[in-house]
Structures are given as structure tokens and as C-alpha cells.
A and B are shown apart, each in its own frame.
Chain A
Amino acid sequence: QSVLTQPPSVSGAPGQRVTISCTGSSSNIGAGYDVHWYQQLPGTAPKLLIYTNVNRPSGVPDRFSGSKSGTSASLAITGLQAEDEGDYYCQSYDNSLNAFYVFGSGTRVTVL
């Protein structure tokens, strides 16, 4: 059971906008720790997509954007493209006993 909760799946037609939520608690996101997002395309290793809530690494299209508020964060994909199909994970730090880095349960994005 993941510490951060994400919807199992989201879908959209090409060109549409989809959002993925990431809900945490007072020991992670709510405590002020940053949220990072990773994209895992089929058969590949995860790749950093958004860091420190809103920042895109070099090479990541501006179709991807992140936000954070309270105990939650969100990833938005605008202008959805077929190559965006894959799994997306949020990640943060957790200050509870025996915790450290925590991941979301992952969200499968399907392009219809």
C-alpha cells in the first residue's frame, strides 16, 4: 500500500488535457516536502519529469506541468500525445518513523 495515493488510470483523446492527483498526508506533502514526478514509458526505466513541484528538466516539453497545494500535488498534461502513454509516479519525502522517500501508487495514462 503506497503512502501517496494516485488514481490507477486516466485517459484522454489526443490533444486533450488530463490531470493526475497525488494525495499525501501531514508527514510528507503536508509537511512541506517537495513533490517530484516520474514518467515510465512501456519497457523503459522511469525518467524525471517534474521536480520540486513545478520545474521541468531540460528536454521535457512544456505540455507537462506540476502544482502542489496542502497535502496534495497534481501533474497536468496538455495537448495529450500518443507518446505520453505510460505510467506516472509522484514521489516525496516522509518524516515518519522508518520512512524516507515515498512513491505514489502510479497512474496509467492511456491515449484513446
Chain B
Amino acid sequence: EVQLVESGGALVQPGGSLRLTCVASTSAFGNHEMNWVRQAPGKGLEWISYISSGGTPTFYGDSVKGRFTISRDNARNSLYLEMHVLRAEDTALYYCVRGGAAGPDVLDLWGQGTMVIVSS
């Protein structure tokens, strides 16, 4: 069974930076689009970033554009999210999500999430 495992979540001060990592349990990772989706405590789902199987193009939601960077290393079956100038409203559970395997725009496999708390 393919799994996605996120790590890197932490308590960070406003204005700080953090790097999230997601590791896939399969070498087929490089065949798939990937995304980051977040969920603030008690709130709904918010898509924040997409990366194609080869690394470009990438897309971002307005709330993180210019502050977050998505990247991947297919040789390491890994997805990353570099987060800068963090704000209180970035506090959320961040999910690594595979896309496109079941069809265009389908988010078919989700990790368990890693928690980011932005607070002084």
C-alpha cells in the first residue's frame, strides 16, 4: 500500500521559516503530480500548492504566493514545501496529496499531515 508521510511541522514564531517534507513509499512517486493542502484548526480544506511530476510547472494559492515554494526530488521520492514569512493564519495541519493518478484534478492519496503552529 502506497503511503505518504509528512514531517517538519513545528511551532515557529511569526516571520519565521519552516521546511516541510513528504516521503512516498513508492518509486512511482516520480510519475505523479503532487500538492500541498492545509486545514486550519476546526476549518475546512484549502489547496495551497501544486507541482507537476517533472517539477515544473508549479502553482500556488493566493494566500501563500510569494512566501511558499514547492519542490520535489524524484530520486528521493520526496516532496517539499519551503515556508517563509510565516503568519498566524498559516497555522494548520499540512497534508501532502497525490494528484492525477485517478484522473485529472483528482486528489487520490493523502498523507496523515504535519502540524504547523505560528505563534509567539
Question: Which residues of A line the B interface, CB within 8 A?
Answer: 2, 33-34, 36, 38, 45-48, 51-52, 55, 57, 87, 89, 91-93, 98, 100-106
Contacts and interface: CB of A to CB of B under 8 A. Distances in A.
Interface of A is mostly: strand
Nearest to A93: B105
B88 to A, nearest CB: 19
A82 B105 CA distance: 30
A22 B14 CA distance: 35
Contact of B103 (A52, A89, A105): A52
A47 B35 CA distance: 15
Q: Which 4 A-B pairs have the closest CB atoms?
A: A101-B47, A106-B44, A103-B45, A45-B110
A92 B45 CA distance: 12
Best-buried of A47, A48, A55 by chain B (most CB within 10 Å): A48
B7 to A, nearest CB: 15
Interface in B18-52: 35, 37, 44-47, 50
B108 A51 contact: yes
Interface string B84-113: 000000000001000000111111111111
B54 interface: no
A48 B45 CA distance: 13
Contacts of B104: 34, 93
Nearest to A6: B44
Contact of A89 (B45, B105, B113): B45
B112 to A, nearest CB: 5
